[in-house]
Amino acid sequence: MWVALAGVALCLPLAAVAQESVPPEQRLIQLINQARLATGLGPLVVTPELSSAAESHARDMVQNGYMEHTARDGSTPQQRAARFGYNAPTSSAWMVLEVISARQTPEAAANWLLSDALHRGVLLRKYWREMGAAYVQGGPYGQMWVVEFGCRPNVLPITAEPNSSGGVTVRLSNEECTPTGSGDTIMGKATEVMVSDKPDFSGATWEPFVTTKVMSGGSSVFVKYRDSQGRVTMSSTQGAGGPSPVVVTAASAATTTLNMASPPSSQSGSAQAAPAPAAPAQAAAPDPGSDAAPAGSNLFEPKPGFVFQPGVAKP
């Protein structure tokens, strides 16, 4: 049994966070989550494993002067994530994909990623649950941004942020990468949830799965997920009402049956189908002075009703 720890990207209302008050990679995470929320998708939780993988690759590209998804040692994004403990089994529908930008600011990087059809499709995929981002200065392009997106077995994180009524709004994720689950312990898509402010779930009952729950009080939220075959996993938050990042914990089963997972059914919808590969390796740095959408990039229209404006100076 292992436990994954992650810091939630939306621990406070995004509008209340000054752009200059957060590290540049955190600002990019906020912008990506804003874009997801604007299109009706759930926000993603930041994990230390994916963040470390992103930083390692960004530093390698800066130090060795290249801009590609395949590192100089031949590693792929999923392989690099595995080095840092992110267990997305190979030959399964659980995965890690990566996007890269060399724009000068987080706003400019978000603009470019959301304007390019292929990268926009990666950022706004329904089944992502976790992410990690890195910003490293230097190299031939001046700076490098790397963002990793992933989903892994039995890790269904939740996010929580204070609401206007004095409680917290909890957003629940679900298993969209492998909706059927695997074996006796790797759960599939949740059909029921149990939500409580107590770790022993006293007084709580199972109810149909929902994507959002409003809690009237308490500084902690605990969630159990259950699928149609009775397989269960849990997530929880700590300190959702305070200024520190919310901590998310998610229990996982032993790894012996992970590779038994089957890919989603072809009838499950495009968001659950086997994914297209990550964006092709970029041979040159994108132009940091232009945020115009490239011709033919309307594949993922309509776009959100906002445009991020590049900052005057580098973050």
DSSP one-letter code for 186: B
Residue 102's Cβ-count burial label (10 Å; 0-12, 13-18, 19+) is buried
Nearest to 268 by CA among 158, 188, 151: 188
Cα 20 to Cα 32: distance, rounded to the nearest angstrom: 17
pLDDT tens digits for range 163-173: 888 888 899 99
3-state secondary structure of 118: helix
d(CA 229, CA 93): 19
Strand runs labelled E in 33-167 = 45-46, 95-101, 130-137, 143-151, 158-162
**Residue that is written with structure tokens 């690759």 in the block:** 57
User: Over the stretch 30-54, which tens digit does the pLDDT of each residue have?
Assistant: 999 999 999 999 999 999 999 999 9
pLDDT in tens, 170-220: 999 999 999 999 999 999 999 999 999 889 999 999 999 999 999 886 678
Residue 18 confidence class, pLDDT cut points 50, 70, 90? very low
Question: What pLDDT, in 10s, does the model give residues 50-59?
Answer: 999 999 999 9
Q: Is 211 helix (H, G, I), strand (E, B) or coil?
A: coil
pTM for the model: 0.71
- Residues composing the chain: 315
Structure token pair of residue 263: 């890919």
